[in-house]
Structure 1
Amino acid sequence: MRPKNLPADIHWPDDKEEAQIQRGITADPDAPEWTDEDFARARPAAEVVPEIVAAHTQRRVRGPQREPTKVAISLRLDRDVLDNLRASGPGWQSRANELLRKALAET
């Protein structure tokens, strides 16, 4: 069943395609369908391979910032202003900083 809120640019398989996908899954010897016994024996990854889980869940610490050091703040903006800044793509916060810098220089 196709979800109601699916974006238009995402392909959702029709019944024929879905049947073909399911046949492929069933035929894959490396990925058998789990039984109730399989689920009963299953253990969390942190119990089975704790060193791998720990390596992937450690919080990465950002290195020291180049000068000048920026300060994290909370700032309320009008929705349309924020939407326009974000729509400009990655780096929008730095561009917002430059816009504020230019506006202050003009005053």
Structure 2
Amino acid sequence: MADQPRRPRTLGDARSEAEAAFKKVTAKVAQAPPKTNAVPGVKEQVTLRIDQDVLEHFQSGGPGWQDRINDALRKAAGK
């Protein structure tokens, strides 16, 4: 009997149960960030990489080139 442990481990041993309970409590639940409604007229600053010739096309029209790019993107998006 010296070859056998005093208390054989079973699937429901205290350590396994404690680890399972700990994992259940500490596991992060993936949640999508809350959606925010777009407010008309409010613009958000972003960084956008576009081809140089496209940028030159819009800038050649003078001031307001960012608004023209926004209008073109809005039209392409069907908005």
Short-chain TM bin: 0.3 to 0.5
Structure with more of its chain in helix, by fraction: 1
Specify the structure having the higher radius of gyration (Cα).
2
Normalised TM-score (structure 2): 0.47
TM-score, length of structure 1 as denominator length: 0.35
> Which structure is richer in relative contact order (CA contacts within 8 A, separation 6 or more)?
2
